[in-house]
């Protein structure tokens, strides 16, 4: 049967070679068009989207690194001043405003990035997915009660509302000729002094600093350290070779809560932070 079929096909091709060539050409054209359509409609858009995401993230990597670096430095500077010099946040207006601006600057660049990629599938690549996790973990450090939850604990847990952080980011972002950017310090101070509605956005954030004490019962102390840690984890991810900023340091020896320490330790391990650059509390440590 197979021999007969093959002979028939051979004879048919010899007699009607032009027809067979036309048929094969049509079939080849259909297959080629289908492959082209698949590439243009499915594969190519995904490739384009990945390139766009990478371009946007790269564009804002440097301002994010710089603003995160500035903020983490201010946090650890503030905590050192409180612990060793009894520094009061409300006593120095210039320090107060520059601290609030450090937060606003970082939050502003985050909002710029969020607006730029809001129309994209931000989980398209593994790198952008991890970046999204690192960024969201910074906000978790501001808002979550997870770090302070212990069985039977009834202590008051201070949080900074996520909506407030988003709002602060919004009000410091300016737009000129279609380009978004964060206002400078001078303009920030001017707006803060003259615009009560503008300044009011920082009320909840300021409570994070006022009359803070370096003890476990004041959860604001450890919360600032957790924010500091995750800002550095974000910097580590964005610039692991530290070509565009100072090498991240994780000075977490001021932590007062064992529960917070255990949880942040797990998160930093998961983020791939080397243990040899983290300084944890030592028993009876006073420095």
pLDDT digits (tens, 9 = 90+) for 102-119: 999 999 999 998 887 654
Query: Which DSSP state fits 247?
Result: P
3-class DSSP state of 96: helix
Please tell me the least confidently modeled range out of 13-17, 51-55, 212-216: 13-17
Direct distance between the N- and C-terminal alpha carbons of the chain, in angstroms, rounded to an integer: 93
Residue 225 has, within 13 A of its CA and on its CB side, a CA count of: 30
User: Quick one: angle between helices 219-238 and 258-270, nearest 10?
Assistant: 10
Confidence of residue 182 (pLDDT cuts 50, 70, 90): very high
pLDDT recorded at residue 124? 55
Please, are residues 217 and 155 in contact by the beta-carbon 8 Å criterion?
yes
pLDDT, average across residues 152-161: 79
**pTM score of the predicted model:** 0.78
Q: In angstroms, rounded to a whole number, what is the distance separating the alpha carbons of residues 176 and 167? A: 20
pLDDT recorded at residue 61? 80
193-68-200 Cα angle (round to 5): 25
Name which residue leads in pLDDT, 284 or 217. Answer: 217
> In this model, does residue 57 exceed pLDDT 90?
no
> In this model, does residue 270 exceed pLDDT 60?
yes
> In this model, does residue 212 exceed pLDDT 90?
yes
pLDDT, average across residues 24-41: 56
Q: In angstroms, rounded to a whole number, what is the distance separating the alpha carbons of residues 150 and 133? A: 25
Per DSSP bridges, beta strands 179-182 and 173-176 are antiparallel
Q: In angstroms, rounded to a whole number, what is the distance separating the alpha carbons of residues 124 and 148? A: 34
Tell me the average pLDDT of the chain: 81
pLDDT recorded at residue 34? 58
Q: In angstroms, rounded to a whole number, what is the distance separating the alpha carbons of residues 20 and 208? A: 80
Which residue in 126, 77, 159 sits closest to 237, CA to CA? 126
pLDDT recorded at residue 245? 54
Q: In angstroms, rounded to a whole number, what is the distance separating the alpha carbons of residues 129 and 122? A: 7
User: Quick one: angle between helices 44-85 and 126-143, nearest 10?
Assistant: 30
pLDDT recorded at residue 165? 97
Confidence of residue 120 (pLDDT cuts 50, 70, 90): very low
Q: What is the Cα gyration radius of the chain? A: 29
Task: Tell me the backbone φ, ψ of residue 118, rounded to 5 degrees.
Answer: -65, -25
The H-assigned helical ranges of the chain are: 2-15, 17-38, 44-85, 93-116, 126-143, 162-171, 185-194, 196-200, 203-206, 219-238, 258-270
Structure-block tokens of residue 101: 């601006």
Please, are residues 89 and 99 in contact by the beta-carbon 8 Å criterion?
yes
Task: Tell me the backbone φ, ψ of residue 278, rounded to 5 degrees.
Answer: -110, 130
Structure-block tokens of residue 256: 């007062």
How many residues are recorded in the chain? 287
């Amino acid at each position: 049967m197979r021999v007969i079929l093959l002979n028939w096909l051979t004879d048919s091709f010899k007699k009607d070679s032009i027809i067979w060539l036309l048929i094969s050409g049509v079939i080849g054209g259909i297959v080629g068009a289908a492959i082209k359509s698949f590439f243009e409609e499915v594969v190519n858009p995904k490739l384009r989207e990945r390139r766009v995401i990478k371009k946007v993230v790269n564009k804002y990597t440097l301002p994010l690194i710089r603003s995160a670096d500035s903020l983490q430095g201010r946090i650890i500077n503030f905590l050192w001043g409180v612990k060793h010099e009894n520094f009061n946040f409300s006593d120095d207006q210039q320090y107060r405003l520059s601290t609030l601006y450090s937060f606003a600057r970082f939050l502003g660049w985050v909002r710029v990035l969020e607006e730029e990629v809001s129309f994209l599938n931000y989980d398209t690549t593994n790198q952008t997915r991890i970046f999204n996790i690192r960024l969201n973990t910074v906000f978790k450090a501001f808002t979550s009660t997870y770090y302070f939850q212990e069985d039977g604990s009834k202590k008051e847990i201070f949080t900074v509302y996520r909506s407030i952080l988003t709002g602060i980011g919004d009000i410091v972002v300016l737009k000129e000729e279609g380009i978004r950017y964060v206002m400078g310090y001078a303009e920030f101070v001017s707006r803060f002094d003259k615009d009560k509605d503008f300044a009011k956005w920082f009320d909840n954030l300021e409570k994070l600093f006022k009359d803070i004490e370096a003890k476990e019962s004041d959860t604001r102390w450890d919360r600032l350290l957790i924010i500091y840690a995750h800002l550095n984890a974000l910097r580590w991810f964005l610039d692991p070779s530290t070509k565009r900023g100072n090498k991240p340091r994780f000075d977490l020896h001021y932590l007062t809560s064992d529960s917070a320490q255990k949880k942040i330790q797990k998160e930093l391990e998961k983020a791939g932070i080397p243990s040899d650059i983290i300084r944890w509390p030592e028993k009876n440590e006073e420095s």
